[in-house]
Chain A
Amino acid sequence: MNTVITTPKNRPDPRDVSKDDSMLKQKEMMARHFDRITSAPERGEKVCATFVPGNLNELIMCFDFANNLPEVNAIQNGLRKKSGQFVMEAEKLGHSEDVCTYVKSDIGMMAKGNIAPNGEKFPDPDVLLLSYTGCFTFLKWFELLREQYQCETILLHTPYEGDGKITDNMRQYMVKQLKEEVIPKLERVSGVKFDIDRLRENLRRSAKAEDDLVYVLQTAKKRPSPIDAYFGGIYYIGPIFGAYRGTDEAIDYYATLRQEIDARMAAGLGPVTPEGAMGEEKYRLVTEGPPNYTSFRDFWKMFYDEGAVVVASSYTKVGGVYDFGFRHDPDRPLETLAEYCLGVYTNRSLPQRVDMLVDYINEYEADGLLINSIKSCNSFSAGQLLMMREVEKRTGKPAAFIESDLVDPRYFSAANIKNRLESYFQMVDQKKAGGALKGAAA
């Protein structure tokens, strides 16, 4: 071969890249989260287990529970490369290959001693609080946990937003459940009397943090975007969708984050990646679906190496959608909790999801849509191809579809995914060039 070939420049070692204050703070908050749960019995604190989408952290805090979120544990085990063995352990116990891998990671972790990321044992929960928000698997998951722990189980049923709107009936139905089922049971298990003013305070703090989070996520409308709203976004949503919403720590975290992002924006910098600041922003994408956690860094690298930044993602809305103005409202404490649950992304109909993605592409001036469809998530993956076609039709922007899994490393085929991503990026290039030519011709 005579072709002169230049090899790509080496990037810095990720270990040499300095971390922002918000990153350090977030890491420390996660560590404290696990320490609080594992040390709860020593302090005489009770433990509540609940799911991320539509979680009622402000309410849970009113009863002094430590809040344990099984999906967060599964994600941590995925990031720490432990979920593979847990998934296989669950399969040994009889759970099939197609079952949600968050569930299997959790079941496998319990079978292997229920050890938290801090190396301490997770205490058994005293109550399982399920805000049912569109994922049917959650019901079955908690049935399995109830069998294991023989503890009180509370179901808050959230009606599906099939018609694309929240009616007063829906709201009142949920408020009634909160008053008659959820709160009395939480009082009974915790032994703490419910104080609505305490709830109002928690909600007020939530709204403040939520304002800053939305501000940060919407900075991606700038060019270059100072954030990656998917890979970076996952770190950003940690406190708000977990056990910190409604706390001063969350307010502090989002204020710090906002300052940092403002500084990046002022300096015209792109997002922070594990290998330092991202280079030139070549592609602006909207994503649908969760990332793969077992190869999170490798997956992310496939984007930033190509200059692709995610400017908006639906996944960072699974715990709650704030884009369209919703904030927790201390003046309507129970109604606001109901509306929060009703509005989470997993509880939205396919047309609503399509509308959101179309809006994102238009508002964030994205080049296209990328769907990462999750193999073991039937409830969320169903209909994604149809959504993709509709978004393509309505925006005229190219879309692509890749497949992987949440925390099962066996379902991440790096070569295959890289191949599809590169093809997609090149397709976007061609589209842009074609569009430019057509524009010039016109």
Chain B
Amino acid sequence: MKTFIGIDLGSTTTKAVLMDDNAEILGRGITNSRSNYDTACRVAQQEATVDARLTLCRREMRSDVSDEAGKLDELLTRLELGFRLEQFLEQLNDLEQTCRTQIRGERFEGKEKAVTEVLTSVFEKLRAEAPAMYAPGGQRKSDFFRDIAGSRYLTVAEETAKEAGVPFELLLNVYDKSIIEVENRPPSEDMTGKFLRALNLVVKDAAEFGVDTATVEKAVKTALDIELEEKFLVGTGYGRVTLPFSKEHIRSEILCHGLGAHMMYPNTRTVLDIGGQDTKGIQVDPSGIVENFQMNDRCAAGCGRYLGYIADEMNMGLHELGPLAMKSTRTVRINSTCTVFAGAELRDRLALGEKREDILAGLHRAIVLRAMSIISRSGGIADEFTFTGGVAKNEAAVRELKKLVVENYGDVTINIDPESIYTGALGAATFARRAVN
């Protein structure tokens, strides 16, 4: 099967989209950009391939497996969770092995055995609790290995070290030295093996889904055997310049976002993208060709990274900001969206006795106001208006945006795709497909 790949190397996350010859999206993948775009690119692409395999499994099963109970989707979710568990355990093992190699040097002298024992115990516990995280309905802090493994390692290692009378900082030391190495290690290529192990887990429960085990196995194996032939790849986003892509493999993210938004919503005329370090207002014509654009200049005030700093200052997860801001009863007026002053602004408001949710509502409004200024400089908002980028997932930002669009431009259709974070990668994949066809 011919495939076309679009990769959006953003400042915070790297996204990949795998497209087939009919311009259908086969798979999407995302990873944190880390300091190594090369690895981020590989990981995102592999994640998109995993997703593509699941799509192919779905296609195969839809044609082969009778789904009288209507539970095929749940079965596929189980298959994916099983795969993710396998993937997590593989990286966890890698982390353990790498940590072991770091138990050396003066500071570990005489404590090697004790630290090794604690480490063994910690990883046993982490392995033991992993299946629950990947069970249906299981909770994970994030989808990225570093976030999940990191937070659990620190908690479990602190408890275990304390019980064993081993200084926690030694456990912290081996982890810090290992995590970047593990994270930047090219992902294992044994995708089929992991899928088959996941399949074994699923087929055990196949009866529960009212489907025939042998048919499921056949469908999955057929899907895994389909060759995914990479015909063309296009990279976009800030990181594109760090990769040795020649010009025909590079498109600017402005063009990719414009085209990606057009692919998602063909009537799009104005696109707003709020990403990690830039905000873009883009006008596109009926074919998705960019007619005009504006973006923030040297200052990244009001971009996604600003929310990241705010989350850090408040000791909250990025995804928790929007829901808290939605609880606001009054919006605090905030004028500065300077990322550097974010912490000071926040503490100042807290000191004045303002409620966290009200301050957050004000911060979200300030970001959107700045974005509105960029859009107006690009030529305003025309119907239909598509909002993309990581911040489009933030319900409080969306609420403020909708209000301001109505106030300034009246009744306009506003499109927000749940997968809007992949808009740039989708545009890039479309460019890749067009480059060949």
Contacts and interface: CB of A to CB of B under 8 A. Distances in A.
A269 to B, nearest CB: 23
B377 A1 contact: no
Contacts of B298: 403, 411-413, 416
A420 interface: yes
Contact of B244 (A7, A385, A399, A416): A7
B287 interface: yes
B127 to A, nearest CB: 32
Interface in A389-442: 389, 392, 398-401, 403, 411-413, 415-416, 418-420, 422-423, 426-427, 430-431, 434
Interface string B252-289: 11110000000000000000000000100000010101
B209 interface: no
Interface residues of A, number: 30
Contact of A423 (B238, B249, B254): B254
Contacts, number: 74
A423 B285 contact: no
Contacts of B290: 423, 427, 430
Nearest to B259: A430
Given A398-B292, A415-B238, A434-B285, A3 B251 contact: no
B246 A6 contact: yes
B294 A3 contact: no
B309 interface: no
A139 to B, nearest CB: 28
Q: Which of A401, A412, A418 has the largest number of chain B CB atoms within 10 A?
A: A401
A5 B232 contact: no
Contacts of A412: 298
B249 A5 contact: yes
Interface residues of B, number: 34
Q: Which of A392, A411, A426 has the largest number of chain B CB atoms within 10 A?
A: A426
A386 to B, nearest CB: 11
Contact of B255 (A7, A385, A423): A423
Given A413-B297, A419-B252, A1 B244 contact: no
Nearest to B250: A422
A383 interface: no
B435 to A, nearest CB: 11
A1 B41 CA distance: 9
B247 interface: yes
A430 B289 contact: yes
Given A420-B295, A430-B289, A1 B252 contact: no
A434 B287 contact: yes
Contact of A431 (B41, B250, B289, B295): B289
A303 to B, nearest CB: 15
Contacts of A403: 297-298
Given A427-B290, A431-B289, A5 B255 contact: no
A283 to B, nearest CB: 13
A3 B233 contact: yes
A2 interface: yes
A413 B295 CA distance: 13
Contacts of A430: 255, 289-290
B291 interface: yes
A427 B377 contact: no
Contacts of A398: 291-292
B195 interface: no
A14 interface: no
B245 interface: yes
B14 interface: no
Contacts of B295: 416, 419-420
B42 interface: yes
B45 interface: yes
Contacts of A389: 379
A419 B238 contact: yes
B230 interface: yes
Contact of A434 (B252, B254, B289, B379): B289
B293 interface: yes
A3 B230 contact: yes
Given A403-B297, A430-B289, A1 B42 contact: yes
Nearest to B38: A1
A96 to B, nearest CB: 17
Given A423-B290, A434-B289, A2 B230 contact: yes
B207 to A, nearest CB: 40
A44 interface: no
Contacts of A6: 246
A325 interface: no
A165 B299 CA distance: 40
A8 interface: yes
Nearest to B282: A423
15 contacts: A7-B244, A385-B377, A392-B292, A398-B292, A400-B293, A401-B377, A419-B252, A419-B253, A419-B254, A420-B254, A422-B252, A423-B252, A423-B253, A423-B255, A423-B290
Given A1-B41, A1-B233, A415-B238, 15 more contacts: A1-B45, A3-B5, A3-B233, A5-B244, A5-B249, A7-B244, A398-B291, A401-B377, A415-B241, A416-B278, A416-B298, A419-B254, A427-B293, A430-B289, A434-B289
Can you list the 6 inter-chain pairs with the closest CB atoms, starting with the nearest? A423-B252, A413-B298, A423-B254, A3-B233, A430-B289, A2-B230
